[in-house]
């Protein structure tokens, strides 16, 4: 079962090694580079390639970020989930250090990159990926001090995500409840998939080692406490917690208790499988008039209460790749043709509940087509929107208690917002 990475590579867009760290001495950079450049060449689009590839006794796992590939090589039966996730965390750490991870920032900081690779992984085993804590003892030139640094307590503590001795004048916590609605509607207008993925995003500015306790209107918890749950409680399908939350405690009595990291993090995510009525419903009729032009009629309807308003609504309507001469009229908002996306983008700044807007568009098509009819790319209609002060699930933060031994008062601020996630309606 045991297994570890042999080496970690940071490669440029053509697959050439920028920086690499050898952990076990059994895979050479030359070998890895040769393999990977060949893979990129052959595939053209490496994003479509399986992220786990075997070649000549070595397994390569890679992810892409901007113009950089991050790749591990291994000769053992290592934990694939763990290593791939680790690569994503490495991206996060680098982003924390260099603002953006790209070829240039790696070159500009190669000394720190080596230091980080040494600290985050040892002998191919992931060790530590808390960017905030790492930056306390591994610093870039600009911030480097001449005093010798020591490993922060947090690196080996049970509370590995927070250092001691943090001080704020004003102790505040911001809690954003963000729900993304994912929906898939097939060409018959049937909703074939819908779920809501919610996240409690926190930004904490708290001194010391604060003990926090969060109360939600979670049905299981309320029922366990013998409170009435009518109408207000919600069922959360699957909850995932940041590592700071005490899972055993939650399993026992559904209490969400934790010592938060400093700054922003996702405290928890949850998923709801309940069928949601699509908040914004889009119907499109496409008429092809012979081979010369195409006419699209679209109706967009908001299906939520009138007191809420969706903002920044963007409806992406696919059009044929060879369409030209757009002629568009809308009853609200503006529409622009985006040939690079093969789509018409209809933007509505503010879309109150219970309203219906229309769009009509006409395109010319070339009269000559290829003889061999290749199937057309069938992109779905995609919708983006945000609805502030509203959640689909009805989740409510009942309280957020913050207790620190110095006894300060901290103010929690809570905001709710619903957004479109993967919101797709397939065309007929």
Report whether 9 contacts 20 (CB < 8 A).
Answer: yes
Q: How is residue 320 written in tokens?
A: 């044929």
Binding to other proteins in span 179-238, by CB under 8 A:
184, 186-188, 192-193, 195, 197, 237-238
How far apart (Å, rounded) are the C-alpha atoms in residues 234 and 373?
51
Which segment (244-252, 357-365, 388-396, 411-419) binds other proteins by CB under 8 A?
A: 244-252
Closest CA to 400 of 149, 175, 65, 84: 175
Report whether 215 contacts 232 (CB < 8 A).
Answer: no
Neighbours of 261 (CB within 10 A): 22
Q: Rg of the chain over CA atoms, in angstroms?
A: 26
Contacts of 188 (CB under 8 A, 6+ apart): none
Nearer to other proteins, 337 or 423 (CB): 423
Coil/strand/helix, residue 131: helix
Report whether 297 contacts 271 (CB < 8 A).
Answer: no
Nearer to other proteins, 151 or 366 (CB): 151
Q: 195 vs 74, 231, 274, 304, 382, CA distance in Å?
A: 37, 20, 6, 17, 16
Binding to other proteins in span 257-296, by CB under 8 A:
266, 268-269, 271
Coil/strand/helix, residue 176: strand
How far apart (Å, rounded) are the C-alpha atoms in residues 179 and 183?
13
Binding to other proteins in span 71-90, by CB under 8 A:
74-82, 84-88
User: Which one among 31, 37, 66, 98 touches other proteins, defined by CB under 8 A?
Assistant: 98
Nearer to other proteins, 18 or 332 (CB): 18
Binding to other proteins in span 359-388, by CB under 8 A:
373-380, 382
Binding to other proteins in span 7-46, by CB under 8 A:
17-19, 22-26, 29
Neighbours of 393 (CB within 10 A): 20
* Number of residues written out for the chain: 428
Handedness of CA 43, 47, 50, 54 (dihedral sign): positive
User: Which one among 35, 36, 69, 128 touches other proteins, defined by CB under 8 A?
Assistant: 128
Size of the site for other proteins (CB under 8 A): 112
Nearer to other proteins, 88 or 227 (CB): 88
Place of tokens 């919600």: 234
Nearer to other proteins, 164 or 306 (CB): 164
Q: Is 145 in the site for other proteins (CB under 8 A)?
A: no
User: Which one among 41, 118, 223, 235 touches other proteins, defined by CB under 8 A?
Assistant: 118
Which segment (243-251, 283-291, 340-348, 394-402) binds other proteins by CB under 8 A?
A: 243-251
Which segment (152-160, 347-355, 390-398, 403-411) binds other proteins by CB under 8 A?
A: 152-160
Contacts of 303 (CB under 8 A, 6+ apart): 277, 278, 279, 280, 281, 353, 354
User: Which one among 63, 294, 345, 417 touches other proteins, defined by CB under 8 A?
Assistant: 63
Q: Is 111 in the site for other proteins (CB under 8 A)?
A: yes
Q: Is 340 in the site for other proteins (CB under 8 A)?
A: no
Q: Is 69 in the site for other proteins (CB under 8 A)?
A: no
Nearer to other proteins, 282 or 410 (CB): 282
Nearer to other proteins, 78 or 222 (CB): 78
Coil/strand/helix, residue 345: strand
Which segment (53-61, 220-228, 297-305, 407-415) binds other proteins by CB under 8 A?
A: 53-61
Nearer to other proteins, 233 or 267 (CB): 267
In the complex, what is the shortest distance from the CB of residue 25 to other proteins, in angstroms, rounded to a whole number? 5
Q: Is 247 in the site for other proteins (CB under 8 A)?
A: yes
């Amino acid at each position: 079962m045991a297994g570890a990475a042999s080496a970690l590579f940071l490669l440029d867009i053509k697959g050439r090694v920028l920086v690499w760290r050898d952990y076990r001495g059994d895979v050479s950079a030359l070998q890895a580079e040769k393999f990977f450049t060949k893979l990129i060449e052959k595939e053209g689009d490496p994003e479509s390639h399986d992220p786990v590839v075997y070649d000549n006794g070595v397994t390569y796992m890679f992810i892409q970020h901007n113009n950089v590939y991050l790749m591990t090589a291994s000769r053992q039966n290592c934990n694939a989930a763990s290593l791939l996730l680790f690569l994503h965390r490495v991206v996060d750490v680098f982003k924390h250090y260099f603002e953006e991870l790209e070829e240039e920032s790696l070159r500009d900081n190669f000394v720190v990159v080596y230091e980080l690779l040494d600290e985050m992984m040892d002998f191919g085993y992931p060790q530590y990926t808390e960017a905030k804590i790492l930056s306390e003892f591994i610093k870039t030139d600009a911030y480097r001090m001449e005093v010798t640094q020591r490993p922060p307590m947090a690196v080996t503590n049970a509370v590995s995500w927070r250092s001691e001795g943090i001080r704020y004048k004003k102790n505040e916590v911001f809690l954003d409840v963000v729900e993304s609605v994912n929906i898939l509607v097939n060409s018959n207008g049937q909703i074939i998939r819908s779920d809501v993925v919610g996240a409690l995003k926190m930004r904490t500015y708290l001194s010391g080692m604060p003990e926090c306790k969060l109360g939600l209107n979670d049905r299981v918890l309320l029922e366990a406490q013998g409170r009435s749950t009518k109408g207000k409680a919600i069922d959360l399908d699957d909850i995932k917690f940041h590592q700071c939350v005490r899972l055993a405690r939650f399993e026992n009595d559904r209490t969400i208790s934790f010592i938060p990291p400093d700054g922003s993090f996702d405290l928890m995510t949850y998923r709801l499988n309940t069928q949601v009525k699509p908040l914004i419903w889009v119907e499109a009729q496409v008429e092809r008039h012979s081979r010369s032009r195409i006419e699209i009629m679209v109706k967009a309807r908001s299906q939520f209460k009138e007191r809420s308003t969706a903002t920044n609504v963007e409806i992406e309507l696919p059009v044929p790749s060879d369409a030209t001469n757009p002629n568009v009229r809308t009853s609200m908002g503006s529409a622009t043709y985006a040939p690079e996306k093969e789509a018409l983008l209809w933007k509505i700044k503010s879309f109150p509940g219970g309203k219906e807007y229309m769009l009509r568009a006409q395109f010319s098509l070339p009269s000559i087509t290829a003889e061999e009819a290749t199937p057309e790319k069938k992109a779905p209609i995609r919708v983006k929107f945000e609805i502030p002060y509203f959640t689909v699930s009805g989740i409510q933060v009942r309280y957020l208690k913050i207790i620190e031994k110095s006894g300060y008062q901290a103010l929690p601020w809570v905001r709710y917002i619903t957004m479109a996630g993967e919101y797709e309606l397939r065309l007929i």
